[in-house]
């Protein structure tokens, strides 16, 4: 039974990440390379593992402090990147390619997205540290789920981006803004 509960935790924590990678795949559809997908997916998985492990190890002390502002950070990062994607989708092709903040070609963007999508793993680690859930199994399941869902999200986003072009980049940006808003409303206790 512990395997199933660990897998469910891992899948639930990787869903925001899946949506973000679909949006990123839409924006990157022409430049998406296997090496990029694997590198970014690994970065997202590593960020989730680090955040989950940190939350687990630090327990309730860290949770009290992070819980106050994690949703604001996630919202700001996702809204900013989503806004840049929306703006870039309305620009001409040659000028849109110069707008690198909505693309995955900078370490700054990759780190920002990895942190924004993994903050919930930090709090989940804090919460699960007080339960009999097995740390190793849950952390491993989370890392694998994030890696797999990231690769699948990039692939799906790239397919949609190739088929529907700039409209998918705009919709991907809108999706990032809504994901950020959802995380903010959840953090404020409204949703």
Mean pLDDT of 26-39: 81
* Separation between Cα atoms, residue 184 and residue 191, nearest integer Å: 9
Hey, what are 185's tokens? 């409303």
Compute how many other C-beta atoms are within 10 angstroms of the C-beta atom of residue 2.
11
Hey, what are 155's tokens? 């692939």
pLDDT at site 105: 64
Dihedral sign of CA atoms 52, 55, 56, 60 in order: negative
Q: Is the pLDDT of residue 151 over 50?
A: yes
pTM of the model: 0.74
pLDDT at site 99: 42
Q: How distant, in Å, are the alpha carbons of 90, 129, 145 from that of 15?
A: 28, 21, 9
Q: How distant, in Å, are the alpha carbons of 56, 172, 177, 181, 186 from that of 190?
A: 26, 24, 17, 11, 6
- Per-residue DSSP letter, 101: G
Which residue would you say has higher pLDDT here, 105 or 152?
A: 152
Give Cα 102 to chain centroid, integer Å.
14
Which residue matches tokens 């694997």? 38
* Separation between Cα atoms, residue 117 and residue 103, nearest integer Å: 16
What angle do helix axes 107-128 and 135-164 make, rounded to 10 degrees?
Answer: 140
pLDDT at site 97: 45
Q: Is the pLDDT of residue 94 over 50?
A: no
Closest listed residue to residue 147, CA positions, set 4, 9, 33, 18: 18
């Amino acid at each position: 039974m512990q395997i199933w509960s660990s897998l469910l935790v891992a899948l639930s924590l990787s869903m925001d990440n899946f949506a973000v990678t679909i949006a990123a795949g839409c924006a990157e559809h022409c430049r998406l390379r296997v090496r990029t997908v694997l590198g970014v997916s690994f970065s997202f998985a590593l960020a989730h593992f680090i955040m989950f492990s940190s939350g687990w190890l630090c327990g309730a002390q860290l949770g009290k402090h992070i819980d106050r502002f994690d949703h604001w950070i996630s919202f700001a990062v996702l809204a900013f990147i989503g806004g840049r994607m929306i703006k870039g989708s309305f620009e001409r092709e040659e000028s849109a390619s110069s707008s690198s903040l909505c693309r995955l070609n900078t370490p700054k963007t990759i780190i920002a997205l990895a942190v924004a999508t993994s903050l919930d793993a930090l709090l989940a680690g804090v919460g699960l540290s007080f339960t009999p859930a097995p740390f190793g199994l849950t952390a491993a399941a989370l890392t694998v789920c994030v890696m797999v869902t990231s690769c699948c999200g990039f692939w799906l986003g790239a397919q949609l981006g190739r088929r529907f072009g700039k409209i998918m980049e705009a919709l991907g940006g809108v999706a990032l803004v809504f994901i950020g808003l959802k995380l903010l409303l959840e953090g404020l206790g409204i949703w």
